[in-house]
Amino acid sequence: MKNNIYEDSTYLNNNPTWHEQDSPWKAGLILKIINRNNLKPDSVCEVGCGAGEIIKILSTNIESGKTFDGYEVSPQAFKICSGKSSEKLSYYLKDILKEELSTYDIAMAIDIFEHVEDYLGFLKQLKSKAKYKIFHIPLDLSVQSILRGNKLDDLRRRIGHIHYFTKETALSSLRDAGYEIKDYFYTSSSLELPNRGWKANLMKIPRKLLFMINQDLASRLLGGFSLMVLAE
């Protein structure tokens, strides 16, 4: 990762809640992909857990789970999440890729590898940490984002995205890193979450209508979508 912006106060200043308000929505989508694939994990970890709210929610909603661990490299984020520990939920100010660990049943990287400079190396190292991996991947590349010349630069400056994906390049990257794709589906913060800004609100109707007709085309043309992926 570009550790300087996550370990100093740059990212915190740009994102003071560390996106904690979106955590219930993301946790619900993670539960959806777990349940529809009939997974009964005993141990779950989250890489780059940020405010720690996603894995906290999962720790109370995955009945089979006994161990939930959140890993974070940012001292600022760790300060937020560490107070949420419980009997079966722990947080670590550590890089999981540098730790010798027993294998988890599920490792999650939720909106993470678009921030990582060597993202293929990250994915290859993460593969051995768990049997199943769950990824949430922003699909920043679209016709609209390219036509709006400053859109991708804004994502880089404001929230640290240094790689940009379509559905096809995201899935191909996972396959190139040695993963087998088990399941995936689109998600849309621009349609489902409130207070996304006036531009997102303006695009809600065309996004929704086109998505009902052709999901891939809606993502490629208008953007505003991400991909939830289960891989092994």
- In this prediction, residue 12 carries a pLDDT of 65
CA 215/CA 208 separation, integer angstroms: 9
If you average pLDDT over each of 9-13, 188-192, 202-206, 207-211, which comes out highest? 207-211
Asked whether 139 and 122 are in contact (CB, 8 A), the reply is: no
Residue 1 pLDDT > 60, yes or no? no
Residue 145 lies in a domain: yes
Residue 196 pLDDT > 80, yes or no? no
What is the pTM for the complete model shown? 0.91
> 135-187, pLDDT tens digit by residue?
999 999 999 999 987 888 888 888 789 999 999 999 999 999 999 999 999 99
Residue 2 pLDDT > 50, yes or no? no
Residue 214 lies in a domain: no
CA 223: distance to chain centroid?
17
pLDDT category of residue 24 using cuts at 50, 70 and 90: very high
Min mean pLDDT across 23-37, 39-53, 104-118, 140-154 is at: 140-154
Residue 78 pLDDT > 80, yes or no? yes
**What CATH number has the domain bearing residue 11?**
3.40.50.150
Residue linked to tokens 């300087």: 4
Compute the mean pLDDT over every residue in the chain, rounded to the nearest whole number.
Answer: 91
CA 102/CA 44 separation, integer angstroms: 11
Residue 67 lies in a domain: yes
Domain limits for position 23: 3-190+226-231
Q: How many domains, the chain?
A: 1
